[in-house]
Structure 1
Amino acid sequence: MSTRFNYAKVYPQVLEKMLEMENFAKSTGIEPKLYELIKIRASQINGCAFCLNMHTVDSRALGEEERRIYLLDAWRETTYYTEKEKAALELTEYVTKISEAGVPDEVYDRVRKQFDEKETIGLVIVINTINSWNRIAISTKMMPPA
């Protein structure tokens, strides 16, 4: 499999605007380790190899435990994640698959027990940003480095 085309070369403004969105998402105050867990989880759901590779590397660079990276797609089945992280991961799943069920009130309530309103919209922005990156990478068949 090979990359279809280099979108950033063809349309540099796309990369520029996506990086603006990324920088804004980083400024929302979401803890860096949680930020990366959200990006990994959404990328798992979307099947984005490029982003999975990038964000597992980034997560390790922040000192994340290997087992928490390996078990992320089974976060409900472990005790390795805090209640705050679980709320964010659940929101990540619902926002990533928003056409299936929206975001149920009970999910929103769990998130709001852990995050204030500003943090909650910050989470939504982080989730939307990685979903946008995933869709660009998958559509253009971006490949992780060899």
Structure 2
Amino acid sequence: MQPRMDFFAEAPQLMKYVISLNRAVDECGLDKGLLHLIKLRASQINGCSYCVDMHSREARDDGESEQRVYLVSAWKESPLYSERERAAFEWVETVTNIAEAGVPEALYDKGSKLFSKEELVKLTVAVAMINVWNRLCVTFHAVHPVPAAKAA
């Protein structure tokens, strides 16, 4: 796959705002480990190899276990995630696929029990933010780094 364009070069002013919002999400106070996992899950759903690669590596660099990173795509069947993480994954999947059914009351109620109202807003903006990156990277074919041994 070849990149279609460098979206940073084509719309630098707008991308500065995207980066600014991304930085605000990263610094919003949600647990850094949780942010890595939800970014990874949304990127898996959206088929964004660039972001799956990046967020897998970042999660590992920040101390997440390989097993937990590998099993994010199968979180429903894995006992490795807390109730709060599981609720966050369900939130990510629902908000990422919002056109399918909106956000059901039962999920909102569950989320409200495990996250404060402020955290739900932050979580939703974090999901929206990774979805922006996924859409940019998938649309314009951002290519993740290839290890030197595999490049040939």
Please identify the structure whose Cα radius of gyration is greater.
2
Q: How many residues of Structure 1 are paired with residues of Structure 2 in the alignment?
A: 146
Q: Is it true that 1:68 corresponds to 2:68 in the alignment? A: yes
Moved over 2 A (4+): none
Measure the CA separation in 2 of the matches of 1:59 and 1:27: 16
Unaligned runs of at least 5 residues, structure 2: 147-152
CA shift, 1:27, in A, is 2.5
Measure the CA separation in 2 of the matches of 1:138 and 1:56: 17
Counterpart AA for 1:121: V
CA shift, 1:15, in A, is 2.0
* Equivalent residues of 1:75, 1:86 under 8 A apart: yes
CA shift, 1:23, in A, is 1.2
Residues 81-126 of structure 1, C-alpha deviations (whole Å, 9 max, x = no match): 0000001110000000000011111111111111100001000010
Measure the CA separation in 2 of the matches of 1:27 and 1:141: 28
Identity of counterpart residues, as a percentage?
39
Measure the CA separation in 2 of the matches of 1:122 and 1:129: 10
TM-score (ref. length: structure 1): 0.97
1:57: which partner in 2?
57
Measure the CA separation in 2 of the matches of 1:90 and 1:76: 9
CA shift, 1:35, in A, is 0.2
Equivalent residue of 2:3, what SS? coil
1:17: which partner in 2?
17
Measure the CA separation in 2 of the matches of 1:66 and 1:107: 28
1:130: which partner in 2?
130
Unaligned runs of at least 5 residues, structure 1: none
Measure the CA separation in 1 of the matches of 2:63 and 2:44: 20
2:97: which partner in 1?
97
Measure the CA separation in 2 of the matches of 1:29 and 1:79: 26
Measure the CA separation in 1 of the matches of 2:111 and 2:33: 17
TM-score (ref. length: structure 2): 0.94
